[in-house]
Amino acid sequence: LEESLIFEIGSNDVTGVDFPEGDVVGSRLGDLSRTSPIGLPGLTEPETVRHYTRLSRQNYAIDLGLFPLGSCTMKHNPRLNERVARLPGFADIHPLQPVDSVQGALGLIHELADWLVKLTGMNSVAMSPKAGAHGELCGILAIRAALEARGDARQVVLVPESAHGTNPATAAFAGYKVEAIPATKEGRVDLEKIRERLGPDVASVMITNPNTCGLFERDMKAISDAVHEAGAFVYCDGANFNAIVGRVRPGDLGVDAMHINLHKTFSTPHGGGGPGSGPVVFSEALTPFAPLPFVEKRDDGFHLVEEETADEHHAHSFGRMVAFHGQMGMFTRALSYIMSHGADGLRQVAEDAVLNANYILRSLDDVLHAPFGKGPCMHEALFGDAGIAEGLSTLDIAKALIDEGFHPMTMYFPLVVHGAMLIEPTETESRADLDQFIGAVRSVVERAKAGDERLKGAPYYAPRRRLDETQAARKPVLVWNEPEPAAAAE
Amino acid sequence: LEESLIFEIGSNDVTGVDFPEGDVVGSRLGDLSRTSPIGLPGLTEPETVRHYTRLSRQNYAIDLGLFPLGSCTMKHNPRLNERVARLPGFADIHPLQPVDSVQGALGLIHELADWLVKLTGMNSVAMSPKAGAHGELCGILAIRAALEARGDARQVVLVPESAHGTNPATAAFAGYKVEAIPATKEGRVDLEKIRERLGPDVASVMITNPNTCGLFERDMKAISDAVHEAGAFVYCDGANFNAIVGRVRPGDLGVDAMHINLHKTFSTPHGGGGPGSGPVVFSEALTPFAPLPFVEKRDDGFHLVEEETADEHHAHSFGRMVAFHGQMGMFTRALSYIMSHGADGLRQVAEDAVLNANYILRSLDDVLHAPFGKGPCMHEALFGDAGIAEGLSTLDIAKALIDEGFHPMTMYFPLVVHGAMLIEPTETESRADLDQFIGAVRSVVERAKAGDERLKGAPYYAPRRRLDETQAARKPVLVWNEPEPAAAAE
Amino acid sequence: MRYLPLTNDDRQAMLAKVGASTIDDLFVDVPEIARLNGTIPDLPMHASEMAVERHLSKLAARNLTAGDGPFFLGCGAYKHHVPASVDHIIQRGEFLTAYTPYQPEIAQGTLQMLFEFQTQVARLFGTEVANASMYDGSTACWEAVVMAGRVTRRKRAILSSGLHPHYVSVANTMAKFTGDTLVTGTPALTAEPDTDALIEQIDDDTSCLVVQYPDILGRIGDMTKLAEAAHAKKALLIAVVTEPVALGAIKSPGEMGADIVVGEGQSLGVGLQFGGPYVGLFGCSQKLVRQMPGRLAGETVDAEGKRGYVLTLSTREQHIRREKATSNICTNSGLCALAFSIHMTLLGEAGLRRMAALSHAMACRTADALTNIPGVELVNDHFFNEFTVKLPGEARPVVRALADKGILAGVSLGRLYPAEGALANGLVVAASEMTTQEDITALAQGLKEVLA
Amino acid sequence: MRYLPLTNDDRQAMLAKVGASTIDDLFVDVPEIARLNGTIPDLPMHASEMAVERHLSKLAARNLTAGDGPFFLGCGAYKHHVPASVDHIIQRGEFLTAYTPYQPEIAQGTLQMLFEFQTQVARLFGTEVANASMYDGSTACWEAVVMAGRVTRRKRAILSSGLHPHYVSVANTMAKFTGDTLVTGTPALTAEPDTDALIEQIDDDTSCLVVQYPDILGRIGDMTKLAEAAHAKKALLIAVVTEPVALGAIKSPGEMGADIVVGEGQSLGVGLQFGGPYVGLFGCSQKLVRQMPGRLAGETVDAEGKRGYVLTLSTREQHIRREKATSNICTNSGLCALAFSIHMTLLGEAGLRRMAALSHAMACRTADALTNIPGVELVNDHFFNEFTVKLPGEARPVVRALADKGILAGVSLGRLYPAEGALANGLVVAASEMTTQEDITALAQGLKEVLA
């Protein structure tokens, strides 16, 4: 059975919500009452539950199997987190309530902030950014504010070729010119090239560490020292912090700002594309420039430092990034996860994530080309498409994995490797699941090397065959429209 | 991917539950400490969630589609009911707490009891039976207690041929001899035959109304009068009360006892086979014999009448049926459903259930034989297998429906119709869903009439093909055992 | 009417299709005398989700919950911590809104789960097989007595005085109608259960001996001798376990020779719920399996030879056997069995043992704290997570007084045995891994104050 | 370690497979200076589920929740009743734990839902298209300003004084870095927004006019003239809707000529959550679609010709365009968009209109009750579910005093505009379909007492 759209099965006068009856008298709407129909079909509750339940079953999800998406970190989402996030004391409070009436909520934010600062070895944290990319922006804006505060208008941000696309996008959005840093043939940023390029026009160097090739940037401390010497700041993309949490503190490596994707390291659910949460930790040098609002603990309780009180305590803040205080619902989940693991468990998280990735690297490097595979990798294993038969591609391997019951790995990223396949198992996969996955990849890769043309048609057993993305983009259909009578009659 | 058993993937030293650490000192267990291994494998939380999520996807469910099971009444289970049943004030209280500390819970039971009594037009209700069959037993025991109280040891219970199997089983369990009442060719019980059989040895007549052929027993009042005249009691199987709720009160038809399956009429979830809940309403004549415990409202609050207080208030009670007070969690859900519908909505429930069933009856009676299909049916439509090609059966039609995306209808029940197919859509199916289902049945039936042999292999697209039930019964394997080394080596 | 998908237009069109002019035409078979023309009087009309939620929340708020303060009640229902993932999984529509798995091709989820559940229960109980669950412990207990009658063709059952009085009560009720003879008794406040007296009562007409383990006072009696004595007379030993967590710390009844083991599974996964729904556990030896009541999931293969599961041995059941069925039961406690099984899977053997050890340790601490109070005397020498103390006076008013202070102190034997003056001073106190030192201190302090 | 499936045996075997003798061998690339040999100091070790739940429950209990008593806060976040089925569905693992639908073959559930969401938002806003959601209303608002800059190639934006001050604040922060010029102002406590002043400010460099509807004081201004004036200067009109329920009662911005409509979707499905996560709504006209930020789901067909959905127009996005992307945004608010869409589907047009009518009616009653109090003056002539009153003195301490009585009375303008003495007496009060007559009475009574 195909699942229809709500617009095809619902109707404007059906509702799945009952309201108290009785006349509603009086109107102070002025002359702007809505008169025309809106076109919002309703469904009763049985129909609604069935529609969305059926839709959900067309999705792959972590609850169904391994999600080997390198650089996306799809790990198990503990159900305790969902339970505590729904406590009315967190879920049912208004962001503008008097602070005396939300001391528990402010306390929670403060407690999570304290963990993040200590885990990263940094000086402070801005909690409000709504997602990782928003956090990047926050970090870059703090850097720019710090430079401007000393009257130093630098224009360039250096970004490695292997960086996430958000890095250059963020720097550009903040008004910077972006220049690429080349990689060494080992898959790391080239320290010498950075040293050469550094100068009075460079505001910041953005480094991802561990990087998107799954490698730790060995020269990180040396880079930081060079950057600081040149009067610039080090931004670290913390997307891969999960590989080192509890074992390495970015603060010890000279980082000035780093965002943390709570869903990657601290298990908040991905939700099919968000909501995320991207707190940013800062070094002492950048702390004065961090955004509003933030929570401060004083003798009489927790205070919320907003615009009104900023002059006094935080005169250099670069301002506000969001309407309220950030992703409270994600904070609750992340704290629940962090407390559950503790300092010891988080260290184990990093170790198991890295061990799982290396296990995959070594279990597949005989059939797949591992361009930087001499030494150990961190939390993800990177392969290229060398050896795949002519006419077949990374895409075909990925789609064929769907038929084996798995979500494909990350493809064609990072850009520095041809036909890249980036595999990140995370720490929440068992050895048995890894072995099953490895077996599936081996079998598909062997078919790809043998030139099995059938791979080009994969997936065969998914809810849909390959979808025509070109048609979608060429003539975008973004909303449902009543079919024209002629078409309907066909 | 096939889902393994937990015994194949778990191990005894893995756990998905963390406990506070530290030594546990002292033992007052005596010399019975458990020393041998138990053999209970554990899984971590990620593995557990995945195991059960995958398992769940091999089930059909109301949330996925229409469940046309005649006499089983699979209707939508509102999510509000689930929410309120989980309020700590209901879910987290102990059955033996002092009654002063559970006034809200007792109040809820009392409120639901009041609804049930008024909706059925009866005199009282016993809330404790754990399921429909348990309720039947409760009713029959009250009848027996009432007869014994007047020193009248009758031995026979009359049960129609079309009755649910639980009816004769219950009567036999309560020590009665069961005799069958034949049906008229219209599919109803034969009033004359009952009149003929009634006598001083008959304790009770058990009638299902609406009956399992989906028909209202027109002569119900006359039957009741005759039964009462003969000094016996009328037990009504209330499994099909959903067809008449709000439109007919069994009390008005002379019923002495009737159980109500809360999941059938009042939407508590079926849960893959329970838990159920089967409150029993009583006439004035049987009320004194109802079981303990029950809730009584007095001036100073709600009281729980248990053994200790029974002498005073309820001397004739036939006793206790369960350890505590019944299925509280189901009461909460049922009351939530009942309040949501109200007196008007419940009436509409019956009307829509009956309308939906008649719509199916009239949409299929041209291709399927409807043995009692002259007049309207109540909440379910009954068909026979007449006209199906030689070598094919009701079973084949049912299994083929699985491939069309639907759960099969009830088969081979009631016994009075050859190759019976009993279809009950319930009130929570939309017209569009009914049309889709009707289309599927028509197509399968047409193939069955044409003698399509492929039907015998159905289902083809389910998680499993037809399963060998004979093998399962002949050499029952009811628990998992470690495969023997030889077998493992194969 | 948020749960009713038919619109008035649908209704009109469908009435036309069935050839009726109004809905009343479909109710013509209802005799005039029973036709209601309007809604039933004295009942409210439909209400919004908001209104229903508000009303029920108000009722819920009038109860003192186990989580509100120190909590020490047991006697057949125990509070343990249930991981959040259990409730998450049982709320999946595919489990919550599925039917009994009579169509195995599209019910493998429920069936495999039941097969796993049966195996877990059998291993926990030390029996060879187990069924797919019963209503609750008390009904499972009675069904075991009936089963023993079928197996032995005898009608005299001996119920230990340590058996939960509600369970005895249920059996008494049923026996009245089935004509079984029950030998019952009231427990004495002694350190050990009176095993010898029980053995003496066994005779050649005895179908079974029913013994709770640990018993209603929390005492742990060795059942080995009981099994031997029963078997010597060709009677069966039925063990009743109301706290399955105990079997993570003490020997299983099966190991000691019990033929049938039944129990209440509520401790794992299910929660207190004011007494229901709970989940009855039922295990026995392989040779008795065809006399066993209740549903059974069994392994088999499908037409392609793939392993799969079906409900089996249904020829014992009422829908086939009708009046000759082994039981009139037509339902198990499926969703509660699922909750039990998930919780057990999460725990695993290591977790169950740890949970049991902690529960026991907290009970020991509680016992120490209470016996420090002058006039309070510990009855048991041995116990698992539950023990009995003798107070200087009646326990019932003490329990009520403590409840007013927000402390749920235990179950008074006066509540369970209202007619037995000798037990009135007894208080049964239970602890678990959730009990904290603060809870214990509060209980001891409160009790001291009330007794003063 | 309940979330970590590897056992120590697994770890040893796997280390052997990868050729490492200890786990440290896999961290060799970390410079010595940054290697931590033990756990990080000053941080607690792992904790049981029980302990974590207990700790967080304690924190939660220290907050006064909206459900605890009368509640009248709004100003960008509203409390409405969310049906239980919404939360049930979003907790399904297939939605909760799915990734961004980059592999459309196994993500049709999320994609079709987003396509339906986009359609719902577009229809509600009266725009031709909408995207798959943004972080929240405030960031959506700034993205709209940036988009208008891209479309018009101008860098001067006029923000109405009725725009939420936090939204203005976000825009000010961003504009500092992007070099945009913003014209902003503070609202006056007048009955109607000052439309004429706004029009006067439009010049040939203006990229857009940003107008909130209803505005921060709850006033409902006709935007038709604003649209005409903006279009006359080839500038865009951006409408900002912080309370989408309002559009069930009043005209949509699209109908009045807005080119871009953004908003906060929290009112439907999402709940208060102390400010986040929320869901930004973003609609615009078809011709602007390629300048639109954020993800988009689009219809297409698969290799067999079946209808299906994909993320589309991703050439605008950062993972393709890198520094040339329309926005640096890489996330939408997927699960909140799902909650919004389910709630909207349950409501349907009829339900939304009824919900809006009730919210308005309760707001009218609240306004009447408050203006009965001597010294309290209603600012608005017109409003939807939110209005502003002028108190005889500063509103902030009044709000605090009422909170101590358990009444959450509204948002003081002093909280939102700390620097503006002229607004200090202003109090913004919001109602909804959940507001009861008792709530209103309690508020009025409480306010009377505090003012006395």
ipTM, 2 dp: 0.96
If DSSP states are collapsed to H, E and C, what string results for C287-327? HHHHHCCCCCEEEEEECCCCEEEEECCHHHCHHHHHHHCCC
Name the residue among B42, B52, B45, B48 with its Cα closest to residue B10: B42
CA B99 to chain centre: 31
The answer to whether the CB of D266 falls within 8 A of the CB of D78 is yes
Name the residue among C382, C296, C351 with its Cα closest to residue C122: C296
Nearest to D302 among A58, A72, A464 (CB): A464
Please tell me the distance in Å from C270's CA to the nearest CA on chain D: 16
Residue C9 CB-density burial (10 A; 0-12 exposed, 13-18 middle, 19+ buried)? exposed
Helices (H) and strands (E) in chain A, counts: 16, 12
What average pLDDT does this structure show over C49-70? 96
**D323 and chain B in contact, CB less than 8 A:** no
What is the structure's pLDDT at A489?
42
The answer to whether the CB of B317 falls within 8 A of the CB of B300 is no
What average pLDDT does this structure show over A457-472? 94
CB–CB contact D348 A137 (8 Å): no
User: What mean pLDDT value characterizes chain C?
Assistant: 95
- Radius of gyration of chain D from its Cα atoms, rounded to whole angstroms: 25
Instruction: Report pLDDT digits (tens) over A327-380.
Output: 999 999 999 999 999 999 999 999 999 999 999 999 999 999 999 989 999 999
Q: Using an 8 Å CB-CB cutoff, list chain B residues near C358.
A: 19-20, 24
- % of chain B surpassing 90 pLDDT: 87
d(C-alpha D5, C-alpha B13), whole Å: 11
CB–CB contact D350 A105 (8 Å): no
pLDDT at B363 over 80: yes
**Domain residue ranges of chain A, discontinuous segments joined by +:** 80-336, 348-472
- What are the φ and ψ backbone dihedral angles of A176, each rounded to 5 degrees? -100, 155
Nearest to C48 among A13, A18, A45 (CB): A18
What is the structure's pLDDT at A488?
45
What is the structure's pLDDT at A383?
96
What is the CATH topology of the domain spanning D84-343?
A: Aspartate Aminotransferase; domain 2 (3.40.640)
What is the structure's pLDDT at D318?
64
Name the residue among D310, D242, C388, D60 with its Cα closest to residue A477: D310
Q: Find the farthest-apart pair of alpha carbons in chain D and give their distance in angstroms, rounded.
A: 82
d(C-alpha A421, C-alpha C292), whole Å: 56
**B1 and chain D in contact, CB less than 8 A:** no
Residue of chain C whose alpha carbon sits nearest to that of D67:
C54
Residue of chain C whose alpha carbon sits nearest to that of B140:
C177
What is the structure's pLDDT at D329?
72
Would you state the structure tokens that stand for residue A234, as one six-digit string?
């080090």
Question: Hunting for tokens 């102990």 — which residue is that?
Answer: B94
**A18 and chain C in contact, CB less than 8 A:** yes
The answer to whether the CB of B115 falls within 8 A of the CB of C92 is no
Task: Find all residues with CB under 8 Å of D414, minimum gap 6, and list them.
Answer: D394, D395, D396, D423, D424, D426
- On whether the B349-472 domain is CATH 3.40.1360.10, my answer is no
What average pLDDT does this structure show over A71-91? 96
What is the CATH topology of the domain spanning D69-80+349-451?
A: Aspartate Aminotransferase, domain 1 (3.90.1150)
Element (H, E) at D308: strand D307-311
**A149 and chain D in contact, CB less than 8 A:** no
pLDDT at A46 over 80: yes
- Indicate the SS3 state at residue B291: coil
Please tell me the distance in Å from A450's CA to the nearest CA on chain D: 24
Question: Hunting for tokens 């649209």 — which residue is that?
Answer: D227
Whether the ω angle into residue B293 lies within 30 degrees of 0, i.e. cis, is yes
pLDDT at A243 over 80: yes
Please tell me what DSSP assigns to residue D429: E
Q: Using an 8 Å CB-CB cutoff, list chain A residues near C13.
A: none
Name the residue among A430, A431, A410 with its Cα closest to residue A421: A410
Nearest to C97 among B19, B61, B178 (CB): B61
> What residues of chain C, 18 to 57, have a C-beta less than 8 Å from chain A?
46-51
Element (H, E) at A341: helix A328-364
What is the structure's pLDDT at B488?
45
Nearest to C4 among A19, A44, A78 (CB): A44
The answer to whether the CB of A205 falls within 8 A of the CB of A194 is yes
Confidence of residue C248 (pLDDT cuts 50, 70, 90): very high
Residue of chain C whose alpha carbon sits nearest to that of A50:
C93
pLDDT at D224 over 70: yes
CA dihedral C8, C10, C12, C15 (to 10 degrees): -130
Q: Using an 8 Å CB-CB cutoff, list chain B residues near D87.
A: 79, 83
Instruction: Report pLDDT digits (tens) over C178-205.
Output: 889 999 999 999 999 989 999 999 999 9
Q: Using an 8 Å CB-CB cutoff, list chain C residues near B349.
A: 4
Name the residue among D72, C372, C27 with its Cα closest to residue B376: C27
The answer to whether the CB of C341 falls within 8 A of the CB of C113 is yes
The CATH number of B80-336 is which of 3.40.640.10, 3.90.105.10, 3.40.710.10, 3.40.47.10?
3.40.640.10
Instruction: Name the superfamily (CATH) of residues C68-80+349-451.
Output: Aspartate Aminotransferase, domain 1 (3.90.1150.10)
* Amino acid residing at A394: T
State the alpha helices, DSSP H only, in D262-332. Answer: 318-321
CB–CB contact D48 B17 (8 Å): yes
- What are the φ and ψ backbone dihedral angles of A118, each rounded to 5 degrees? -70, -40
The answer to whether the CB of B6 falls within 8 A of the CB of B51 is yes
* Amino acid residing at D127: T
Name the residue among A437, A421, A414 with its Cα closest to residue A386: A421
d(C-alpha D98, C-alpha A272), whole Å: 5
What average pLDDT does this structure show over D204-232? 97
Instruction: Report pLDDT digits (tens) over A261-315.
Output: 999 999 999 999 989 999 999 999 999 999 999 999 999 999 988 876 556 667 7
Confidence of residue D386 (pLDDT cuts 50, 70, 90): very high
CB–CB contact D116 A480 (8 Å): yes
What is the structure's pLDDT at A309?
59
The CATH number of A348-472 is which of 3.30.2350.10, 3.40.50.300, 3.90.1150.10, 3.50.50.60?
3.90.1150.10
Q: Using an 8 Å CB-CB cutoff, list chain D residues near A27.
A: 360, 364
Angle, CA of B349, B330 and C314, to the nearest 5°: 90
D-interface mutation test, from C65, C71, C81, C438, most D Cβ less than 10 A away: C81
The answer to whether the CB of C91 falls within 8 A of the CB of C292 is no
Confidence of residue B224 (pLDDT cuts 50, 70, 90): very high
Q: Using an 8 Å CB-CB cutoff, list chain D residues near A68.
A: none
**B291 and chain C in contact, CB less than 8 A:** yes
Which chains have at least 3 CB atom pairs separated by less than 8 Å from chain A? Answer: B, C, D
In chain D, which segments carry CATH 3.40.640.10?
Answer: 84-343
User: What mean pLDDT value characterizes chain D?
Assistant: 95
Would you state the structure tokens that stand for residue A347, as one six-digit string?
């260290």
Residue of chain A whose alpha carbon sits nearest to that of C1:
A18
pLDDT at B490 over 50: no
Lowest-pLDDT range of A308-312, C120-124, C366-370: A308-312
In chain D, which segments carry CATH 3.90.1150.10?
Answer: 69-80+349-451
Question: Hunting for tokens 């695993």 — which residue is that?
Answer: C348
d(C-alpha D268, C-alpha D286), whole Å: 25
CB–CB contact B465 C30 (8 Å): no
Please tell me what DSSP assigns to residue B321: S
pLDDT at C43 over 80: yes
d(C-alpha A5, C-alpha A289), whole Å: 48
What is the structure's pLDDT at D325?
72
Nearest to D88 among B15, B49, B82 (CB): B82
CB–CB contact C51 A20 (8 Å): yes
Confidence of residue B312 (pLDDT cuts 50, 70, 90): low
D-interface mutation test, from C50, C89, C90, C345, most D Cβ less than 10 A away: C50
Q: Using an 8 Å CB-CB cutoff, list chain B residues near A340.
A: 18
What average pLDDT does this structure show over B298-314? 77
**D60 and chain B in contact, CB less than 8 A:** no
A-interface mutation test, from D85, D87, D89, D106, most A Cβ less than 10 A away: D106
A-interface mutation test, from C1, C2, C95, most A Cβ less than 10 A away: C2
Residue D21 CB-density burial (10 A; 0-12 exposed, 13-18 middle, 19+ buried)? exposed
CB–CB contact D51 B14 (8 Å): no
Q: Using an 8 Å CB-CB cutoff, list chain C residues near A47.
A: 5
What average pLDDT does this structure show over D59-88? 97
CB–CB contact A53 C93 (8 Å): yes
CB–CB contact C50 D2 (8 Å): no
CB–CB contact C34 B249 (8 Å): yes
**A269 and chain D in contact, CB less than 8 A:** yes
pLDDT at C33 over 60: yes
CB–CB contact B17 D2 (8 Å): yes
> What residues of chain A, 294 to 323, have a C-beta less than 8 Å from chain B?
none
What is the structure's pLDDT at D331?
76
**D439 and chain C in contact, CB less than 8 A:** no
Lowest-pLDDT range of A36-40, A448-452, C389-393, D331-335: D331-335
What average pLDDT does this structure show over B175-200? 93
Residue of chain D whose alpha carbon sits nearest to that of B10:
D5
Element (H, E) at B432: helix B431-449
Would you state the structure tokens that stand for residue A459, as one six-digit string?
């997936």
**A65 and chain B in contact, CB less than 8 A:** yes
What is the structure's pLDDT at A77?
97
In chain C, which segments carry CATH 3.90.1150.10?
Answer: 68-80+349-451
Please tell me the distance in Å from A325's CA to the nearest CA on chain D: 6
Would you state the structure tokens that stand for residue D48, as one six-digit string?
């049981």
**B400 and chain C in contact, CB less than 8 A:** no
